[in-house]
Amino acid sequence: MRVYLETFGCQMNELDSELVRGQLLSLGHEFVPHPDEAQVVLFNTCSVREHAEQKVYSRLGLAGVRKKQGEQLIVGVIGCMAERDGVDLFKRYPQVDLMCGPGELDRLPLLIDNAARADAADRSERVALAGNKSRRSATLQAAEDNLELLDLSRAFEPVANDAKSRSAYVRITRGCNKFCTYCVVPHTRGAEVHRPPSHIVDECKRLVDAGVLEITLLGQTINHYRYTHGTALTVDGHEAPQVGPGLAAFRKPPDPGARTTTFADLLHRIHEEVPALQRLRFVTSYPRDFGDDILQVMRDSPRICHYLHVPAQSGSDRMLKAMNRGYTVSEYLEFIDRVTTTLPDCTIGGDIIVGFCGETDEDFEQTCELVRRVPYKNNFIFKYSPRPGTVAFDRLADDVPDEVKRARNNALLALQNTVSARVHERWVGRTVPVFLEDIRERAAPTGPANGHVALSVAGRAPAAATLRIRQVIGRTPGDLIVALPAPENAETMLGTIQSARIIGSKPLLLDGVFPTI
């Protein structure tokens, strides 16, 4: 069948979509770029904020109109909204034929098959096939084994020579056990489960053999990766995914009798066993329990990027406590100091929530202070969005008015811009390797500045409106964006890593040139 798949949300979802795509392609389905051409429309959804869900509701509205007009169309909601909304969504959106939470994606082809065969009138059968939460009663281990097969089924065809396919995600941990009070992720993705290191290393090797240059490891609190060997085996004696050890495991030294792969060990293994991998990075780091062992492996392994995405969420101890984040501002800062001491050129990014329950002007000012103090290259700033099912939704009042949330959001964005500008400035004059990803053409603001190539139409004197500059856009190991004047053969350079000299900076961008040009 012709399938259209649209993805919302985080990198976990992007990876899930890739796996789902591979699985459906191998079963003979084909993918189309526009929903109008599709027989099956799938939305891989995100529940993290209300806004993310609204986008999907509007897509469902459009699909509903098509069905009302008599089109034969299968509409599927997969991912975190399917898990959170469950049967409620079926009730409100009768146009939805199937739902499949992130823990059930291995069953998606079956659900599509069944939906295709089902009598359109027999809606009750479809609901029963939704799969949502169906595994909750089964043992977690069994559920995760099947999911593990989905990751293991990944297709490793030689990749095209473009940037997107030369950069890949590899999951090391599923789910989350932290239960920050505002967050749906532990509810939608389930308990923290670590994949066996051999599966991870093997996946990295096969991706690199197929031409991948850059791998980003994924986990919600990635430094909490820990696998104890010999304790979780499949019936045929292979290592199986393993439920996370809990916070207590990080309070004491590892049991000397146990053979354990820590996150630092895993990074080291991938770096050593996959020598053709050019860039290894990972998200998202949790500010607590990030040991010096990890920083040392990063320092000593030239192909591990000096880049951390390590969200603080707030600069107020009171808010961090209400959020159940498990660290104080001074512990966060102590960690940042360790990072900058061991890895002076490490870039740091984060996430911040403004307007969380009970946040006063003073709490907010403390967050501003944190942003002034930490050399963040960027921060994603979110207005708190109460999510049904979370502790904050049930027990804390969403008492910061929306105008105040918006004002704090804007003030923090402006402050972050000045911090970002300072961080970017420090790179001017350096030569850095840049992974080239994209070409963009845009109007030149004030004529051909900074050595950029100006294209004028048919040799006429370039009027301001006809001036276009063509740039190649790439990223440094530290995930800073670099814009370079595009040479003639720019297309052939996409998906490669080239040296660039940084000659200027803007708050969110470095201007570079190729040294040989």
The footprint of ligand SAH (CB under 6 A) covers: 48-49, 182-183, 185, 220-221, 284, 311, 313, 351, 353, 382, 384-385, 387
Verify binding: residue 47, ligand SF4, rule CB under 6 A.
no
Name residues contacting ligand F3S, limited to 69-88 (CB under 6 A).
79-80
Compare residues 98 and 176 and give the one whose CB is closer to ligand SF4: 176
Number of residues that bind ligand SF4 (CB under 6 A): 9
Q: In degrees to the nearest 10, what's the CA dihedral of 96, 100, 105, 109?
A: -40
80 contact choice in ligand SF4, ligand F3S, ligand SAH, none (CB below 5 to 8 Å, kind-dependent): ligand F3S
CB burial of 303-335 (b: ≥16 within 10 Å; e: otherwise) equals: bbbbbbbbbbbbbbbebbebbebbbebeebbeb
DSSP string, 118-145: S-TT-HHHHHHT--TTTTTTS-HHHHHH
Verify binding: residue 475, ligand SF4, rule CB under 6 A.
no
Compare residues 183 and 280 and give the one whose CB is closer to ligand SF4: 183
**Segment contacting ligand SF4 by CB under 6 A, of 95-103, 173-181, 201-209, 477-485:** 173-181
Report the alpha-carbon distance of residue 508 to residue 287 in Å, rounded.
Answer: 24
Report the alpha-carbon distance of residue 328 to residue 487 in Å, rounded.
Answer: 49
Compare residues 15 and 482 and give the one whose CB is closer to ligand SAH: 15
Query: 149, 109 in Cβ contact below 8 A?
Result: no
Compare residues 102 and 504 and give the one whose CB is closer to ligand SF4: 102
User: Which two three-digit tokens encode residue 90?
Assistant: 């079926």
Q: How far is the CB of 176 from ligand F3S (least distance, A)?
A: 8
CA 242, chain centre distance (Å): 22
Strand partners, 265: none
Compare residues 23 and 314 and give the one whose CB is closer to ligand SAH: 314
Name residues contacting ligand SF4, limited to 211-240 (CB under 6 A).
220-221
Q: What mask of x and - would describe binding to ligand F3S in positions 37 to 66, judged by CB under 6 A?
A: ---------xxx------------------
Cα(first)–Cα(last) distance of the chain, in Å?
49
Query: 80, 188 in Cβ contact below 8 A?
Result: yes
Find, among 76, 103, 85, 89, the residue nearest to 7 by Cα.
Answer: 76
Q: How far is the CB of 21 from ligand SF4 (least distance, A)?
A: 25
Q: Which of 126, 166, 178, 189 binds ligand F3S (CB under 6 A)?
A: 189
Find, among 486, 388, 393, the residue nearest to 85 by Cα.
Answer: 388
Read off the amino acid at residue 206: R
Verify binding: residue 7, ligand SF4, rule CB under 6 A.
no
Verify binding: residue 481, ligand SF4, rule CB under 6 A.
no
Verify binding: residue 129, ligand SF4, rule CB under 6 A.
no
186 contact choice in ligand F3S, ligand SAH, ligand SF4, none (CB below 5 to 8 Å, kind-dependent): ligand SF4
Q: How far is the CB of 49 from ligand SAH (least distance, A)?
A: 5
Q: Which of 74, 176, 297, 381 binds ligand SF4 (CB under 6 A)?
A: 176
Q: How far is the CB of 268 from ligand SAH (least distance, A)?
A: 23
Strand extents, DSSP E, 200-346: 214-218, 226-228, 242-243, 260-262, 279-283, 307-309
Compare residues 126 and 195 and give the one whose CB is closer to ligand SAH: 195
223 contact choice in ligand F3S, ligand SF4, ligand SAH, none (CB below 5 to 8 Å, kind-dependent): none
Q: Which of 30, 179, 258, 272 binds ligand SF4 (CB under 6 A)?
A: 179
User: Which two three-digit tokens encode residue 431?
Assistant: 């030569």
336 contact choice in ligand SAH, ligand F3S, ligand SF4, none (CB below 5 to 8 Å, kind-dependent): none
Query: 156, 18 in Cβ contact below 8 A?
Result: no
Q: Which of 38, 82, 185, 346 binds ligand SF4 (CB under 6 A)?
A: 185
**Segment contacting ligand F3S by CB under 6 A, of 10-18, 60-68, 145-153, 437-445:** 10-18
Q: How far is the CB of 284 from ligand SF4 (least distance, A)?
A: 7
> In terms of C-beta density within 10 A (0-12 exposed, 13-18 middle, 19 or more buried), how is residue 394 classed?
exposed
Region for residue 30 given its phi and psi (left: phi exceeds 0; alpha: psi -120 to 50; beta: otherwise): beta
**Helix, strand, or coil (residue 214):** strand
Q: How far is the CB of 480 from ligand SAH (least distance, A)?
A: 21
Residues 6+ apart with CB under 8 A from 496: 213, 435, 436
Report the alpha-carbon distance of residue 450 to residue 509 in Å, rounded.
Answer: 14
Verify binding: residue 310, ligand F3S, rule CB under 6 A.
no
Alpha helices per DSSP H over 376-488:
391-395, 402-425
Verify binding: residue 267, ligand SF4, rule CB under 6 A.
no
Report the alpha-carbon distance of residue 204 to residue 222 in Å, rounded.
Answer: 17
Verify binding: residue 193, ligand SF4, rule CB under 6 A.
no
> In terms of C-beta density within 10 A (0-12 exposed, 13-18 middle, 19 or more buried), how is residue 252 classed?
exposed
Compare residues 244 and 478 and give the one whose CB is closer to ligand SF4: 244
CA 434, chain centre distance (Å): 21
**Segment contacting ligand SF4 by CB under 6 A, of 78-86, 137-145, 178-186, 255-263:** 178-186
Verify binding: residue 353, ligand F3S, rule CB under 6 A.
no
The site for ligand SF4 (CB under 6 A) is made up of: 176, 178-180, 183, 185-186, 220-221
The site for ligand F3S (CB under 6 A) is made up of: 9-10, 12-13, 46-48, 79-80, 184-185, 188-189
